[in-house]
Amino acid sequence: MPYLADENRYEKMEYNYTGNSGLKLPAISLGLWHNFGGVDTLENARKMLRKAFDLGITHFDLANNYGPPAGSAEETMGILMEKDFKPYRDELIISSKAGYYMWPGPYGEWGSRKYLISSIDQSLKRMGLDYVDIFYHHRPDPDTPLEETIGALKQIQDQGKALYVGISNYNSEQTKAAVEVADKMGVNLLLNQYNYSIFDRWSEEEDLLGTLEEVGMGSIIFSPLAQGLLTDKYLGGIPEDSRAAKESGFLKEESITEEKLDKVRQLNDIAADRGQSLSQMALAWILEQGVTSVLVGASKVEQIIENAGTLNNTGFTNEELAAIEAIVAD
C-alpha cells in the first residue's frame, strides 16, 4: 500500500528561518547518524522516517560516512525515497556532508576539492537524487587552504548539486575565517552544525551562537541528548541495546559515572515537575538558546513521537534555568 503522508503534518511542527536566508527548518530535525545503516532493519528505518514526516519533520540529515557500513545510511535513504518519499521530494530538506574518512588513499577525507566533489557525486548516486538541499564541509581541515574548500562548495552549489552549503564542527574563529573567504567568493554559508547540550558547553565559551548571528548564519545542533545520557535510559543501569553498551559507540560505559548519573536524576526531577520527559526538557533547553533546529536520533518510532512532543512545552522560568545551571555547575 503506498505511503500517504498525514494531511495535518504541518500543524504539528514549528519552522524557523535559517540565518539570513529564506529557508525554514523544522525546530526538530531527524539525524540518520545511527540506526539507518546496512546493519539495521530497513523496515524499522522506514517506519521512523514515515512517522517523522507525518509529524512535520521535513529535514533528514545524513553524511557520506553514516552507516555502518559507511555510505549505507544514504543507500537506505535512496531506497525509501524511491518507495515512499518521491512524491514529497519538494517538501523535504535532505542534507549530506563530507570531511571525515570515507575511502582509502589520500583523496578519501578532509577538505580538498578532489574529495568534496567526488563525495557529493557518490552521495547523490547512493540516494538517487539530482541534488541535496544542504551540503556541508563536515570538519575543518588544518592542511587545505580555506579558499580550496569553500571554492569546492561554491562549485557544488553552482552546478546545482546542492541548493545551500554550510559548515560543521567549525568553532567561532574558524567560522569567521570561513565566512570571510566565502564572502569574497560570493558564497552564502547557510549554517553551522555542531554539538551542544546541557552537559556539553564548549560553544558557549567562545559564543559561537553569537558569532553565527553576527555573520547571518543559522545553527543546527547534534548530540543534544549527550548521546542518550540526557534521557532516563541509564538511570536503572546500562541497557544491552544502548549506545553505551556497544564497543563502537561514542558514549563509553566508563563515562557514565555515579556523579554524572546523580546530575541526570536531578535534571529528571526538574523535567517531571515540568510535566515532560528528561529528553524533551533537554531539547527544549537547546531551543531556548535560540538555535535554528535540533537534530535528534532515534532507534524506534516511539522516540520520534516523544522528541516531537517537546514542542508542547518549550518555555522555561528563570527559576528552572537557574536550577539547571546549578546542577551542571555542581
Question: What structural domains does the chain harbor?
Answer: 14-229+286-312 (3.20.20.100)
The full DSSP string for 160-202 is: TSEEEEEEES--HHHHHHHHHHHHHHT--EEEEEEE--SS--H
State the cell numbers at 73: 545510511
Three-class SS state of 29: strand
Collect all residues with Cβ–Cβ distance below 8 Å to 306 and sequence separation of at least 6: 277, 279, 280
Q: What are phi and psi of 44, to 5 degrees?
A: -70, -40
The residue length of the chain stands at 330
Report d(CA 226, CA 100) in Å as an integer.
21
pLDDT at residue 251, as a whole number: 62
> Across-strand partners of 162?
132
The full DSSP string for 285-299 is: HHHHTT-SEEEE--S
- List the pLDDT tens digit at each of the 330 positions of the chain: 899 999 999 998 999 999 999 999 999 999 999 999 999 999 999 999 999 999 999 999 999 999 999 999 999 999 999 999 999 999 999 999 999 999 999 999 999 999 999 999 999 999 999 999 999 999 999 999 999 999 999 999 999 999 999 999 999 999 999 999 999 999 999 999 999 999 999 999 999 999 999 999 999 999 999 999 999 988 876 656 555 555 555 566 677 888 999 999 999 999 999 999 999 999 999 999 999 999 999 999 999 999 999 999 999 999 999 999 999 997
pTM for the whole structure: 0.94
Q: Which of 30, 95, 7, 15 is nearest to 303 (CA)?
A: 30
pLDDT at residue 7, as a whole number: 97
Report d(CA 122, CA 116) in Å as an integer.
10
pLDDT at residue 242, as a whole number: 55
Residue 138 burial (C-beta neighbours within 10 Å; 0-12, 13-18, 19+): buried
Task: Give the containing element (helix H, strand E) for 31.
Answer: strand 28-31
CA angle 247/96/307 to nearest 5° reads 65
> Across-strand partners of 213?
none
Q: What are phi and psi of 93, to 5 degrees?
A: -110, 115
pLDDT at residue 126, as a whole number: 98
pLDDT at residue 234, as a whole number: 83
Report d(CA 38, CA 75) in Å as an integer.
8
**Amino acid in the structure at residue 238:** I
Contact 182, 188 (CB under 8 A): yes
